Amino acid sequence: MAEALILSKPIKDTSCTIQLTGSKSESNRALILNASSKGKVEVRNLSSADDTVTLNGILEGLRPVNGAAVASVSEVPTVNIGPAGTAMRFLTAYFATTGQEVILTGTERMKQRPIGILVDAVKQLGAEIEYVEKEGFPPLKFKPSFEQKTNKVSIKGNISSQFITALLLVAPSLPQGLELTIEGELTSSPYVQMTLAMLAEAGINHTWDGSVISIPAQAFQPSVITVEPDWSAASYWYAIAALSDKSEINLPFLKQNSLQGDSRISNIMTSFGITTAFTDEGLVLVKSASEINGDFFDLKDCPDLAQTVIVVSAALGHNATFTGLETLKIKETDRVAALQNELAKIGVKLIEENELYHLDCSGLHFPDKITIKTYEDHRMAMAFAPLALKINQLEIEEPEVVGKSYPSFWEDLRKAGFVF
């Protein structure tokens, strides 16, 4: 484990150009499409994130790559995806419906993240899966056969959009296709829309009528998917812009009409005085005002932005209310509890009231030095790093966790004038 980093930002203005890695969300979907199409779908500008490297290594041949360990247990190959939650969900559907005989496991935290809803769905389709340890949780053992029993499956929409995406990605390859009914409200809808748009890029047709998404059995078409830079990574630069005295930050190649749900950060951050100017080269962030004009944020469609937006609001002393955070408790850590613990170090409370979360910044203060725990969560490290603009010495524990989605994060902070 790497030593903790102590960050500072002596100059409170920020002016820089940062080239972001490819979107992890797009990359991981594209890799499943590449594997399902047996190479007909070519992928360019893959993310360098650990999760993507791990998934790519597994799909290329079940060989060890950056933590994707493979061993033989009772002659059944074991794939360890480490902390890669997206890989766990996508591979569950992929292994189940392609007749792979394999045991799929991950870190201790991964073994605590529920997957029963997805397993039940692929079992309904005809897959044979056993829980190796605890019912409803990884590790999973897949049997080497798949015979589709039905093409109709229902799944709750408010648990994880990745469960839905996992099923949609394998749908074209199912002998009977798939008719997927989403029960109740759909959380993170943009991620499902991203999946369907990428399937369309690969020549796959679908219909979405009310709560039912239908994808007939069909062949992938020869195609090229070029992955856009990561809007989730861009969100931390919006935070830096918001906490700087002045800012002009260039982020090349990001698109105004993006498939990524986290592109909503450009609209959200207008509330914090940040304007986004799109150019032929990408976008430019400028801090144009110091007044904050929003006090309620619904993050249901973009929960991965929650830590970033909440920390910015807290650091600016803004008593905002948030909703749509229900899925945060089953992420890499319980992100609500983690936020509450770490915000307390600057005197801010995050108060939970049913499904509303209120910031109380009445006790806000900035000590000369604080230490931020990351809870093995990449987004905790990156969401709190911009506080170095307000705190002379900001210590980040386990800084290596950023490799999960944004390996060059610390190097990019140096380019922006952060010192450590």
Average pLDDT over residues 180-186: 94
Q: Specify the pTM.
A: 0.81
CA pair distance 45, 381, nearest whole angstrom: 25
Q: Are residues 249 and 212 in the same domain?
A: no
- Supply 15's token pair: 């002016």
Average pLDDT over residues 242-270: 95
Residue 202 in domain: yes
Q: Are residues 9 and 90 in the same domain?
A: no
**Catalytic pick from 50, 51, 230, 304?**
304
Pairing of strands 14-17, 247-252: parallel
Q: Are residues 362 and 297 in the same domain?
A: yes
Q: Are residues 234 and 210 in the same domain?
A: no
pLDDT at position 399 is 97
Residue 420 in domain: no
- Supply 197's token pair: 């748009």
Q: Are residues 190 and 293 in the same domain?
A: no
Residue 167 belongs to domain spanning? 24-226
pLDDT digits (tens, 9 = 90+) for 218-241: 999 999 999 999 999 999 999 999
Q: Report the range of poorest mean pLDDT among 137-151, 281-295, 339-353.
A: 281-295
Pick from 38, 71, 52, 24: nearest CA to 234: 24
How distant is the alpha carbon of residue 76 from its chain centre? 30
Percent of the chain past pLDDT 70, that is, above it, reads: 96
Confidence grade of residue 2 (pLDDT, cut at 50, 70, 90): low
Q: Are residues 62 and 120 in the same domain?
A: yes
Q: Are residues 288 and 389 in the same domain?
A: yes
Q: Are residues 252 and 308 in the same domain?
A: yes
pLDDT at position 62 is 52
Q: Are residues 128 and 236 in the same domain?
A: no
Q: Are residues 327 and 181 in the same domain?
A: no
The H or E element that residue 78 is part of is strand 76-80
Average pLDDT over residues 236-262: 95
Average pLDDT over residues 102-129: 95
Known catalytic membership, residue 304: yes
pLDDT digits (tens, 9 = 90+) for 147-182: 999 999 999 988 888 999 999 999 999 999 999 999
pLDDT at position 330 is 67
Confidence grade of residue 130 (pLDDT, cut at 50, 70, 90): very high
Q: Are residues 162 and 252 in the same domain?
A: no
Q: Are residues 17 and 60 in the same domain?
A: no
CA pair distance 405, 54, nearest whole angstrom: 11
Last residue of a domain, one of 204, 226, 248: 226
Confidence grade of residue 14 (pLDDT, cut at 50, 70, 90): very high
The H or E element that residue 190 is part of is helix 189-201
Number of folded domains in the chain? 2
- Supply 4's token pair: 């903790």
pLDDT digits (tens, 9 = 90+) for 34-51: 999 999 999 999 999 999
Assess contact for 347 and 198: CB atoms under 8 A.
Answer: no
pLDDT beyond 50 at 73: no
Say which CATH number the domain at 239 has.
Answer: 3.65.10.10
CA angle 57–60–66, rounded 5-degree value: 10
pLDDT digits (tens, 9 = 90+) for 383-394: 999 999 999 999
pLDDT at position 64 is 38
Helix-, strand-, coil-residue percentages of the chain, each rounded to 5 = 35, 25, 40
CA pair distance 110, 376, nearest whole angstrom: 11
